[in-house]
Amino acid sequence: MNINVIKRDGKIVNFSSEKIKKAISKAADRIGEMTEQDIDRITEIIVNKCDRFPGDQISVEQIQDLVEDTLLKSKFNRTAKSYILFRDMRTRNRDNKSKLLKDIAKKLNGTNIVNQNANLDEASFGGRKGEAANELMKWFALNNCMSKKSRENHLNNEIYIHDLDSYALGCHNCLSIPFDQLLANGFNTRQTDIRPASSINTAFQLVAVIFQLQSLQQFGGVAATHLDWTMVPYVRKSLMKHYLFEYLKDTEEFYALDLDELSDSEIDDWIQEHKEEYLVQLNLTVEDFFMGSAALDDKLYKKALFEVRRETKQAVEGMYHNLNTLQSRSGNQLPFSSVNYGTCTLPEGRLIIKALLEGCIKGVGKHHRTSIFPCGIFQYMKGVNDRPGTPNYDLYRLALESTARRLYPNYANVDWSGNAGYDRNDPKTYFSTMGCRTANGFDINHDEGVNPQTKDGRGNLCPVTIIMPTLAMEAGRDVDCFMALLDTKIHEAKDMLIERYDYICAQDPSAAKFMYENNVMLGYKPEEGIKSALKHGTLAIGQLGLAETLELLVGCNHTHPEGMALAHRIEALFKQRVAEFKNKYKLNFGVYYTPAENLCYTAMKKFKEKYGEIERVSDREYFTNSMHVPVWEEMDIFRKIDIESELTGYSSAGCITYVELDSAAKSNIDALETIVNYAMDKDIPYFALNLSNDTCLDCGYTEEFNDSCPECGSKNIQQLRRVTGYLTNDYKTAFNYGKQKEVEDRFQHIKLTKGWRSEDECEQSC
Ligand SMILES: [Zn+2]
């Protein structure tokens, strides 16, 4: 043979008939219709064809064409088909791999920054490293860790697997952290062990540390479910500490101390030694130290309380500072932290709530910028803080002031019907959420004697989201076909979640030592494996684009009665199936109104590629979140709440309702109160007010403005907007393209709300 072969990478090699024979044998082996002699004969024909090939070079692809052609013309049809299939598969694998490498290169170079998650800095070194690795992790998960059905559902834009980059690792999503026990007992870390908190200052520092540590054991958010109650013992410890200090500082022994000589640890020892002694002298016990205690001396108490308040304020500010600066996950992300509070009526708890709200209002840094983390969530509770005369009503008002200026806190409805069965005496069972909206529902695997609504030590394990508009198209836009297909897909979503659950449960506890050794995820029994803890978590079946789905099926969304009637049918099906799965599989399946921060955009892109632009369905850059009313629908605040409140009762794994206000609403706290009260009365579980929040980064001026600061003219401005339930940095840089468009389309519901017109309109008509 005088002909050479050009390989795919451009290398020239000698012609080899053996390689051709091997390729045919592989195809033939799978079928069994060719003998050894048949293979030799066909090989010979192909070699001859190659020999007669014009020129002195032939490419691998050209040889394969000849093999294909020769086999097809022979009587070995089935072998020919097998060869073609095999060749096609190899080509696809090669394409996949080269696409993968290209995707990785883009992430490494930072040339494809999409901001799929508003809290992740994809341009940083840490972000680029992480994102590049994620491409590989996603590819690996799709091709190695799941069934064909799961992969197809994901790739076909029918059922989306969230956090695919974490799938192959087998870690879970989010957790409500049992701070009560961690602060009281201390905990172990890789390098050391941490003693129980002995003051309010250390308690708040540890909260930030624990948030940080836990966020490295999982991929999503971390929350404190009742931080006001949690902190009561540490306020008391600080009170005792300061009380005794004040007393000790007036004794002869104190004046006799040589501070130049004593080491810090000797001072500590001195305090410890004398603490007990002075408690006896003062005829007090540890139990006497609480705010308002009659056993304490008035003057010493006042001095101590003064110090406690200062310490609490500094501790809270320290926590805000830490949670907005300590990056985690290889330095590209802040932990998604949330704190729920508002119901503790003890003076110590009230002190904490006040400090949290005042810290939020004050902001962080030189220009007092709005603190992005933690997401504050005020727990609204009937008879506790909901109306004038209730013990924490003043704090509710303060919360509204904070929301007006900082968008936080959001509002969780403790009396939400979906959280029925909670224990009024146990704040661990009060309705609380992750900032984004994810919530822990009734635990079907609760231990005996534990209230099934307990939130602590549990979280969402993994969500999938059914992309309903795709199903509506596949069902030919026919309602009955759609309902049948949706039912099938809800079942498949369940299968996909069980598949991932089993994968997560197969991991070794040593992969998340902090979480399992310290019982941060509750219920772990080493002899039963990590399933013993994970079985308390949620398997969330999410949904996207109800509004667009209804448009496709009945020509209008749920702002019209016909759309709403079908919306009820759809959501009722979700709820019914999820309840059946929960009982049958003894796992906490839940209906989830998905945040879809990135998915609302990527799913739409895929949808448009397949089905083109359809009016009121795919003529924008994003799908509407879960069952929300489209952001561009013009209606007043109360109607928006009315419509969504009809559907929130079907969800059990989390949902959120927002309304959009303008800057004039900021000074009208009464109006904000009326709105929140209305939403809570309508049984909305989790509610947020969206107000504009723009800050000039040069002079610190804060108001709603367009592209430059009205005070100093600077263009260095930050425009905070809400995404999912959290806030994020400037939306124009931190949001993905679809979400940016969505923000720009957001209709300000206050405009149509009677009695609360914006200042401009008022001036004109007054
Ligand atoms: Zn300025």
Mean pLDDT by 10 residues, the chain (766 residues): 84 91 90 91 93 89 92 92 87 81 83 64 79 89 93 97 94 97 93 91 96 92 97 97 90 86 81 84 95 97 97 96 78 82 98 97 87 94 98 98 94 97 97 94 95 97 97 98 98 98 95 94 95 98 98 98 98 98 98 92 96 96 96 95 97 95 86 97 96 83 79 85 76 80 88 66 41
Peptide bond into 374 cis (omega under 30): yes
Q: How far is the CA of 759 from the centre of ligand 1 (A)?
A: 22
Q: How far is the CA of 719 from the centre of ligand 1 (A)?
A: 13
**Could you identify the residue written with the tokens 């803890």?**
533
Q: How far is the CA of 28 from the centre of ligand 1 (A)?
A: 75
Count of Cβ atoms closer than 10 Å to residue 270 Cβ: 15
Q: How far is the CA of 326 from the centre of ligand 1 (A)?
A: 27
* pLDDT of 761: 46
Q: How far is the CA of 695 from the centre of ligand 1 (A)?
A: 8
Q: What share of the chain is helix, strand, coil (3-state, %, to 5)?
A: 50, 10, 35
190 exposure class (CB count in 10 Å sphere: 0-12, 13-18, 19+) = exposed
507 exposure class (CB count in 10 Å sphere: 0-12, 13-18, 19+) = middle
* pLDDT of 72: 92
Angstrom CA distances, 271 to 189, 280, 295, stand at: 28, 14, 22
Q: How far is the CA of 368 from the centre of ligand 1 (A)?
A: 13
Query: In this structure, are residues 131 and 337 in contact, taking their beta carbons and an 8 Å threshold?
Result: no
Distance from C-alpha of 565 to C-alpha of 627, rounded to nearest angstrom: 13
Q: How far is the CA of 700 from the centre of ligand 1 (A)?
A: 6
Measured over the CA atoms of residue 166, residue 170, residue 175 and residue 180, the dihedral's sign is negative
* pLDDT of 759: 46
Q: How far is the CA of 664 from the centre of ligand 1 (A)?
A: 20
Q: How far is the CA of 715 from the centre of ligand 1 (A)?
A: 8
Query: In this structure, are residues 464 and 590 in contact, taking their beta carbons and an 8 Å threshold?
Result: no
First-to-last alpha carbon distance for the chain, in angstroms, is: 98
Q: Which residues contact 455 (CB under 8 A, 6 or more apart)?
A: 176, 225, 428, 429, 430, 432, 439, 440
Distance from C-alpha of 543 to C-alpha of 654, rounded to nearest angstrom: 12
Q: Where are the beta strands (DSSP E) in 433-550?
A: 460-467, 538-544
Q: How far is the CA of 698 from the centre of ligand 1 (A)?
A: 5
Q: How far is the CA of 704 from the centre of ligand 1 (A)?
A: 12
Query: In this structure, are residues 182 and 210 in contact, taking their beta carbons and an 8 Å threshold?
Result: yes
Q: How far is the CA of 716 from the centre of ligand 1 (A)?
A: 8
Q: How far is the CA of 699 from the centre of ligand 1 (A)?
A: 4
250 exposure class (CB count in 10 Å sphere: 0-12, 13-18, 19+) = exposed
Q: How far is the CA of 731 from the centre of ligand 1 (A)?
A: 18
Distance from C-alpha of 57 to C-alpha of 752, rounded to nearest angstrom: 75
Q: How far is the CA of 718 from the centre of ligand 1 (A)?
A: 11
Q: How far is the CA of 360 from the centre of ligand 1 (A)?
A: 21
Query: In this structure, are residues 649 and 591 in contact, taking their beta carbons and an 8 Å threshold?
Result: no
Q: Phi then psi for 82, rounded to 5 degrees? A: -60, -40
Q: How far is the CA of 747 from the centre of ligand 1 (A)?
A: 27
Q: How far is the CA of 394 from the centre of ligand 1 (A)?
A: 33
Q: Which residues contact 333 (CB under 8 A, 6 or more apart)?
A: 117, 119, 120, 121, 127, 327
Q: How far is the CA of 336 from the centre of ligand 1 (A)?
A: 29
Distance from C-alpha of 467 to C-alpha of 700, rounded to nearest angstrom: 42
Instruction: State which residues have CB under 5 angstroms from ligand 1, the bound ion.
Output: 696, 698-699, 701, 709, 711-712, 714
Q: How far is the CA of 207 from the centre of ligand 1 (A)?
A: 35
Q: How far is the CA of 730 from the centre of ligand 1 (A)?
A: 16
Distance from C-alpha of 183 to C-alpha of 307, rounded to nearest angstrom: 21
Q: How far is the CA of 696 from the centre of ligand 1 (A)?
A: 5
Q: How far is the CA of 709 from the centre of ligand 1 (A)?
A: 5
Q: How far is the CA of 711 from the centre of ligand 1 (A)?
A: 5
Q: How far is the CA of 369 from the centre of ligand 1 (A)?
A: 13
The model's pTM: 0.86
Q: How far is the CA of 708 from the centre of ligand 1 (A)?
A: 8
Q: How far is the CA of 721 from the centre of ligand 1 (A)?
A: 19
Q: How far is the CA of 706 from the centre of ligand 1 (A)?
A: 12
Nearest Cα to Cα of residue 444 among 582, 540, 650 = 582
Q: How far is the CA of 694 from the centre of ligand 1 (A)?
A: 10
Q: Where are the beta strands (DSSP E) in 661-746?
A: 686-690, 693-696, 702-703, 717-723, 726-728
* pLDDT of 610: 97
Distance from C-alpha of 336 to C-alpha of 52, rounded to nearest angstrom: 67
* pLDDT of 727: 78
Q: How far is the CA of 320 from the centre of ligand 1 (A)?
A: 24
Q: Phi then psi for 687, rounded to 5 degrees? A: -135, 140
Q: How far is the CA of 294 from the centre of ligand 1 (A)?
A: 51
Query: In this structure, are residues 573 and 490 in contact, taking their beta carbons and an 8 Å threshold?
Result: yes
Q: How far is the CA of 762 from the centre of ligand 1 (A)?
A: 27
What tokens were used for 520?
A: 């941060």
Distance from C-alpha of 43 to C-alpha of 49, rounded to nearest angstrom: 10
Peptide bond into 409 cis (omega under 30): yes
Q: How far is the CA of 717 from the centre of ligand 1 (A)?
A: 8
Q: How far is the CA of 402 from the centre of ligand 1 (A)?
A: 22
Q: How far is the CA of 720 from the centre of ligand 1 (A)?
A: 16
Q: How far is the CA of 713 from the centre of ligand 1 (A)?
A: 6
Q: How far is the CA of 318 from the centre of ligand 1 (A)?
A: 27
Angle, helices 17-31 vs 60-73, to 10°: value is 50
Angle, helices 669-681 vs 393-406, to 10°: value is 110
